[in-house]
């Protein structure tokens, strides 16, 4: 069964002004679509891999033949990461986390502001293209970052990181260049205005 591009879970202008509608349209309709199309193209003709879920595929890249492992890693990662990213924005937009996640963020990083500062620094510190993540690893919250379209599902041996994702921010230039140009730091700061903390809290509740 071919992988499909999910619709954005809200209108493309829903995250204005922090993320503009034109960026959302190009990012979802062209970039994300290309990852899905190229993943399907890479898997064509391999019935066993075509039958796997995206999570199963990314969690066992070693079983993917050498000649398509790169395309599956990049485009499968791109598909999963963007689907996750869209779903972690919108709804109640911004504000502060509540409940167990808020307690754990404060316990781990000292305060919500200290957490945000560290997360932004990890996003700024990612040279070139990639992602910054909040994960639960062995019961503990951690901030990690990955290059390109790698993610924690791929495991430490592939992506250098592991754990269950709670939050992710895309720091590829295509995620912010139209509005912010080279100012990644401004994009990262504005991004907090559109985070859906209720989704992050639900992921955290399920992950620890």
Contact footprint for Mn ion (CB under 5 A): 170, 172, 175
CB of 125 to Mn ion, least distance (A): 18
Smaller CB separation from Mn ion, 134 or 175:
175
CB of 1 to Mn ion, least distance (A): 24
Nearest residue to the partner Mn ion, using Cβ = 170
Smaller CB separation from Mn ion, 112 or 178:
178
- Cβ-in-10-Å burial (0-12, 13-18, 19+) of 133 comes to buried
CA distance 17 to 152: 30
CB of 78 to Mn ion, least distance (A): 7
CA distance 79 to 97: 26
Smallest CA-to-CA distance from 100 within 197, 189, 169, 167 is with: 197
Smaller CB separation from Mn ion, 172 or 191:
172
Query: Tokens 């639960």 appear where?
Result: 136
Smaller CB separation from Mn ion, 80 or 172:
172
Smaller CB separation from Mn ion, 33 or 164:
33
CA distance 14 to 42: 33
Of all helices (H) and strands (E), which one includes residue 133? strand 130-137
CB of 65 to Mn ion, least distance (A): 26
CB of 31 to Mn ion, least distance (A): 5
CA distance 171 to 179: 13
């Amino acid at each position: 069964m071919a992988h499909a591009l999910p619709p954005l879970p809200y209108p493309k202008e829903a995250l204005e002004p922090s993320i503009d509608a034109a960026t959302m349209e190009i990012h979802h309709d062209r970039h994300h679509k290309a990852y899905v199309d190229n993943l399907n193209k890479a898997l064509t003709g391999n019935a066993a891999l075509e039958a796997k879920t995206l999570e199963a595929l990314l969690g066992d890249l070693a079983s993917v033949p050498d000649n398509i492992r790169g395309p599956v890693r990049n485009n499968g990662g791109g598909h999963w990461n963007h689907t996750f990213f869209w779903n972690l924005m919108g709804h109640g937009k911004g504000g502060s986390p509540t409940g167990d996640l808020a307690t754990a963020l404060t316990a781990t990083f000292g305060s919500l502001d200290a957490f945000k500062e560290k997360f932004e620094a990890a996003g700024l510190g990612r040279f070139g293209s990639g992602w910054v993540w909040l994960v639960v690893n062995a019961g503990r919250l951690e901030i990690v970052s990955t290059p390109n379209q790698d993610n924690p599902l791929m495991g430490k041996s592939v992506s250098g990181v592991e754990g269950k994702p709670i939050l992710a921010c895309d720091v590829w230039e295509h995620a912010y260049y139209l509005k912010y140009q080279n100012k990644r730091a401004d994009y990262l700061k504005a991004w907090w205005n559109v985070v859906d903390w209720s989704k992050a809290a639900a992921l955290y509740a399920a992950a620890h």
